[in-house]
Every structure is written in structure tokens, then in C-alpha cells.
Structure 1
Amino acid sequence: AGAAALVMSANPSLTSDQVQNILFSTAVDLGAAGRDIYFGYGRVNAAAAVAAAGTAPAADTTAPTVSIAAPLGSSTVSGLIAVSVNAADNVGVARVDLKVNGTVVASDVAGPYGFSWDSTSVA
């Protein structure tokens, strides 16, 4: 909450979503690249977050477009699956999360967006 308060004091016009995105995008990545189950998005970098808040753009009101590029169709998958995603936004895409049953199982922060998903834990 401390870093979020610093970011909001640097730019009081930010929405809570913008503050969250600034904290995620300026975090020092730890462990595997991108968000992971051990380190989340990484260690908060308060100085970088406050600097980014001062230059934060206006609220993005246009929803992104996202689609699964592979695997396609209604076929059943099993084992280790390569998942490709197309994502675009008028402002930019900071991160693409792959969710299974509402839980984030993988994240990618740079296009082309792709994941290697172990489907064996899901019925």
C-alpha cells in the first residue's frame, strides 16, 4: 500500500487500475521472466513507479482485442501444450495472462505472446 500511495501522490488523477499497472510494469522481475508463482511480478521499485506516475497517460478507455491463435478448434488437449495468443490495444499491451478456470497459470510481457502450459493438472 505504501508504494501505491506514493504513486497516487505523484499523480492524483490516476485510477486504481493505472496505479496497479504502473506498479506491475516498473517492478524488478525476479525468478522466471514475467509473472510467476514464486515472485509474482517481482520486487516493487517505488522510485521507478513514482517517476512513471508523473508521465502516466490519460485513462485507456478502449478495450484490447485478444484471441487464442493456437491451439484452435474444439479438440481435446493433453500434456504440455503450446498456446499462442494475439493481443492488441490502441495504447499498448503490457502483459497477457493465460487463465485456466479463473487462475493465472502463465504470463507473457512481450509479443508474440506464447505460453507452454502443462494441462495435466486440469480435467
Structure 2
Amino acid sequence: MADDTSNSSTPTIAFDDFLAVDIRVGTVVEATPFPEARKPAIKLIVDFGPEIGRRKTSAQITEHYTPEALISTQVAAVVNFPPKQIGKWMSQVLVLGCCDAAGAISLVRPDHPVPDGSRLH
């Protein structure tokens, strides 16, 4: 019997593969409804600090969040994916979240403030 330490059906990756994904924390500085999106979403502008700057994205997070409540909150995002056109909006980062029991997205966020641009370890 093979020693399988993985609890997932996804393949094992090398640590260097993980390091290639640049996940940073930033602060939401603008959040507005995105009524043109196919699924309910919110447009976000996130400040990742002086090294990366401000980046745009949209997120299907309307079940748990309002635009007003997101201002000044920190979120985790992948900052090194290529930009993706979403309707008339160019998404520059991928904000990270997990599905709750009902399938609604709950954002991945630090539970204590960290400097904008901090990398996930």
C-alpha cells in the first residue's frame, strides 16, 4: 500500500510551484456594484502598497458583503495572474475566498492588520 499523506484528490505540487503563485494582502479602497456582470458581483480596487500599487478586480461576493462594508478591509489575492477581461471591466488580480455550506463566497483575509503588499507564507 502506498503512503498517501494527501487528503485531497488534487495532485501534489512542488514547493516551488506554490512559491510561483504570488498571494498578497491589500486593502479595499473602492468597491462598487457590478450590475453588468452575468452573476451578481462587486467591482473592487485594492491597494497592495507601493511595490504593487492599486489593482482592479471583480468578485462574486454579494451574498455576504456589500460594497460599503468592504471599504478599508484587507483581502488576500493572487497578483501575478494575467489580466482577464470581464465584460467592460479588466480584472488584474484574483481575490481569494472559500465557499460556505450554501456555496456563497467568504473572503480569505488576515485576522489581524498586516502591511499592504504582505506576501502569504
TM-score bin (small chain): under 0.3
Higher alpha-carbon Rg: 1
Q: TM-score, normalised by structure 2?
A: 0.24
* Higher strand proportion (structure 1 or 2): 2
Q: TM-score, normalised by structure 1?
A: 0.24
